[in-house]
Amino acid sequence: MKNWSVTMMHFLLGCRFDKLIKLFKDNDFKIPVNRLPQALLISTVSLVLFIPALLEEAYCSVFVYPKKTKEDPVFILGHWRSGTTYLQNLLSCDEQFAYFDPITTYTNNNALFLHKPIMAVQKDAITQSRPMDNLDYEVDSPSEECFAVANRCGDNIVHIMAFPQNAAHYIDHVVLADKPAKKRNDWCRAYHKVMRKTAYINGEKRLLVKSPDNTSHIQEILKIYPNAKFVHICRNPYRVIPSMVNMFKMGSEFLSLQDNPSHEDTVDNAVCLYKKLYTQYFNDIKLIPEGNLVEIKYEEFVKSPIEHAEMIYETLDIDGFDEALPAFREYVDSLEDYKVTKHHPEEYIENAIRNNLGFAFEKFGYEL
């Protein structure tokens, strides 16, 4: 079996058993023999958690989901590997915000009733650095809620990590605007539930969330949260795509339940995903009410993160910057010795970027 601690953090461990079986079925149960031990472990844990998950869902349907959110959330948008994690880690130092931690992310179906025992089991697996960028990852680190949503909705981009042979299907579903009403409504319903539960667990604090796929979900988010605030961060695609390819490869090494695609297919998948995500983003940003969107560049943000945070608070009319300033400074100072992992594009990646992503260079003001 693959690395035990990483397996114990596989996002599908938190998938409710009936949803997990459907996911396997949607992928024609195509799991090679060498991946069967991991699939069996995931299925066993999911089955053990199934009845508690049903009980928790029944409880939340009465006492959690029907309640209204006090304040619409703040959403951090931007493609994977664009600095979204740094931005969320910084802003989450403000104690007025709540966020998804690894438990509410990966095991959201059981996060209310079994939060403490699940944390006790997964503590050693969680306490490590992220393999793609060596950022510290702890039991209380901000995480991406897309994994919680994926464990409720089968057609989700994150499933590309577990089922890379079905990459085209999952990349297609990074955009919901062109999908049937039922699929869009299913996603909105699932998203509302994971957000409500996490807010409830955190005493109804305002949520600060970051999932890169939300960059192409603006229509759906505004349907649920009409006054949502958005911060978008971009980065030069020549840096993003090679880093994304590396993330795909590292993620697949530990999370994939299928044979991994070739290097060329991985590059093509990364470029296709970027193109689809940002084509939708540029189409949808006009829907965001004036004053509810801030757009920044990674290259400028890392030079003056505190000043950018202050600008974000002022533009989005969020109170509390002065109170949070000492925590912001402490976090930035803690990264003084951190070295950014650099991935340089080789010829195949450069050509794929140049031939497909010119529109993004023009929109963001980077040199092609």
Q: Residue 133: pLDDT above 90?
A: no
Range of the domain at 100: 4-364
CA 171 vs. chain centroid, Å, equals 14
Distance between CA 181 and CA 18 in Å, rounded?
Answer: 23
pTM for this model (two decimals)? 0.93
Supply the angle between the helices 305-315 and 84-91 in degrees, to the nearest 10. Answer: 70
CATH code assigned at 125: 3.40.50.300
Confidence band, pLDDT 50/70/90 cuts, at residue 138: low
3-state secondary structure (DSSP) of residue 158: helix
* Tens of pLDDT, residues 82-99: 999 999 999 999 999 999
Confidence band, pLDDT 50/70/90 cuts, at residue 131: low
Give the residue among 146, 149, 143 at the shortest CA–CA distance from 126. 143
Domain count, the chain: 1
Q: For residues 141 and 319, which has the higher predicted lDDT (pLDDT)?
A: 319
Q: What is the pLDDT of residue 1?
A: 47
Q: What is the pLDDT of residue 262?
A: 94
Contact at 8 Å (CB) between 228 and 75?
Answer: yes
Contact at 8 Å (CB) between 77 and 214?
Answer: yes
* Tens of pLDDT, residues 227-285: 999 999 999 999 999 999 999 988 888 899 999 999 999 999 999 999 999 999 999 99
CA 75 vs. chain centroid, Å, equals 11
- Range scoring the smallest mean pLDDT among 52-56, 153-157, 289-293, 309-313: 153-157
| 260 DSSP assignment | P
Beta bridge partners, 98, equal: 207
For residues 213-233, average pLDDT: 98
- Range scoring the smallest mean pLDDT among 12-16, 131-135, 294-298: 131-135
Q: Residue 128: pLDDT above 70?
A: no
> Which sign does the torsion angle of CA 171, 172, 178, 184 carry?
negative
Exposed / middle / buried, residue 129 (Cβ in 10 Å: 0-12, 13-18, 19+): exposed
For residues 174-194, average pLDDT: 96
Contact at 8 Å (CB) between 358 and 368?
Answer: yes
Q: What is the pLDDT of residue 141?
A: 85
Amino acid at position 164, single letter = P
Share of the chain above pLDDT 90, in %: 83
Distance between CA 8 and CA 133 in Å, rounded?
Answer: 20
Q: DSSP letters along 41-87, please?
A: HHHHHHHHTHHHHHHHHHHHHHHTTTSPPSS--EEEE--TTSSHHHH
* Tens of pLDDT, residues 69-86: 889 999 999 999 999 999
Exposed / middle / buried, residue 62 (Cβ in 10 Å: 0-12, 13-18, 19+): exposed
Confidence band, pLDDT 50/70/90 cuts, at residue 224: very high
Q: Residue 173: pLDDT above 70?
A: yes
- Range scoring the smallest mean pLDDT among 115-124, 157-166, 181-190: 115-124
Q: Cα angle at 158 between 157 and 164, to 5 degrees?
A: 85
Distance between CA 147 and CA 143 in Å, rounded?
Answer: 9
